[in-house]
Amino acid sequence: MNRKDTFLVFGKPHFNQDEIDEIIDTIKSGWWGTGPKTEKFEWLFKEYIGSKYSLAVNSATSGLFLALKVLGISEGDEVITTPLTFCSTANVILHLGAKPVFADIESDSWNIDPIQIEKKITKKTKAILPVHLHGRPCKMDQIRAIAKKHKLYVVEDAAHATEAWFKKKKIGNISDITVFSFYVTKNIATGEGGMVTTNNRKWIEKMRVLSLHGLSRDAYKRYSVKEYVNYECMYPGYKFNMTDLTASLGIHQLSRVKKNFKIRGQLWDLYNKEFEDCPLLSVPKNEDNDTVHARHIYAILLKLELIKVSRDKCISLLIREKIGSGVHFTPVHLHHYYKKTFGYRKGDYPNAEFIGERVISLPFGANLKVKDIKRVAETVKKLLHQNSIQ
């Protein structure tokens, strides 16, 4: 089949025989739940990040919930976060009975603006939850300084930022707690799954217990010992644990993360080069010299004032050309629940709304080839020029 006849799926996972062999080995082992391979994945990941502790969970959403839970976030509290994120970032705050408070983003980085964070702090504020959008690190030095000044916790949503660094510090080893995602579209993909990192032993131990029904010993510990040891329910916990089937994928995805990161960097640069001569869109801002962008999502901004169709129509036109794309993200405050519950309306967070209305995430990943990137770029430019206001 001609490659141009192939639909380019957005966020298609990249894997090889190692993952298949590991999955088969896990199936044959008879241990499919949380066990030795989950422990191995946790150990490998904390070594990669440089943190003291890690906890594998079934999603980054679960990880964020546990992080806020062990920090004591509860009813009546406020947590400041960005409106330009996936809704789960704000949802977990609500699940704890607290209130998400949005601070607008910087227009160039698309990340939460530290100046706006400080404006939103009240006596009810207990934590700041920055999101490293698309893999670009937030200004963690400024955010941490604000948190220290006001005695607030910092929990990082690093769902996009496994490979990221900020000022020679690895994301995941900077703040109180950091949470990563291994959803199917992520740079490390296990279908579903996530990881929590921290340097606080008390917090990780409590999160571990809470992640599996609140039991004092998980099933692997209960059934793999030589002598039976009873267990107790220490807290009314949850079912947030990762399984060995999931960890089997993660072990090998992590082993190739550096190699894949190099490939992603080359494809990222190629997109930038291909779009140099296109006045109808803008490309992501260059990363600062003291940061490392994780290169998770490559997103362009359409210059809507120069074209005749909406962003959503452009995505539909790309689909007709067999090119998948996405929107990362529609600002949370414009979703139905948040408008209805909190009375948000358009104009509340202008920078987030500007980006949210114009952004398109293009196919991107280590499984793509140079010809794929060029095909996408050529198609995008063709469609925009066909619909330009001339």
Helix, strand, coil percent values for the chain (each to nearest 5) = 40, 15, 40
The reply to whether 17-255 and 258-386 are identical in fold is no
Per-residue model confidence as pLDDT tens for the chain (390 residues): 445 679 999 999 999 999 999 999 999 999 999 999 999 999 999 999 999 999 999 999 999 999 999 999 999 999 999 999 999 999 999 999 999 999 999 999 999 999 999 999 999 999 999 999 999 999 999 999 999 999 999 999 999 999 999 999 999 999 999 999 999 999 999 999 999 999 999 999 999 999 999 988 765 565 555 566 778 899 999 999 999 999 999 999 999 999 999 999 999 999 999 999 999 999 999 998 889 999 999 999 999 999 999 999 999 999 999 999 999 999 999 999 999 999 999 999 999 999 999 999 999 999 999 999 999 999 999 999 999 997
Q: Which DSSP helix (H) or strand (E) runs through 336? A: helix 336-342
Domain 17-255, second-level architecture: 3-Layer(aba) Sandwich (3.40)
CA–CA distance, 145 with 78 (Å, rounded to integer): 18
pTM of the entire predicted model: 0.96
- The answer to whether 239 is a known catalytic residue is no
Pairing of strands 298-302, 281-282: antiparallel
Q: Which of 37, 46, 69, 186 is catalytic?
A: 186
Q: What angle in degrees, to the nearest 10, is found between the helix axes of 244-255 and 36-49?
A: 30
Question: Would you tell me which CATH number, out of the four given (3.10.290.10, 3.30.420.250, 3.90.1150.10, 1.10.10.410), belongs to the domain 258-386?
Answer: 3.90.1150.10
Whether residue 99 contacts residue 93, with contact meaning beta carbons closer than 8 Å, is answered with yes
Q: Which DSSP helix (H) or strand (E) runs through 314? A: helix 311-320
The domain limits of the chain are 17-255, 258-386
DSSP assignments along 153-212, one per residue: EEEEE-TT-TT-EETTEETTSSSSEEEEE-BTTSSS--BS-EEEEES-HHHHHHHHHHTB
Q: Report residue 133 as tokens.
A: 């959008």
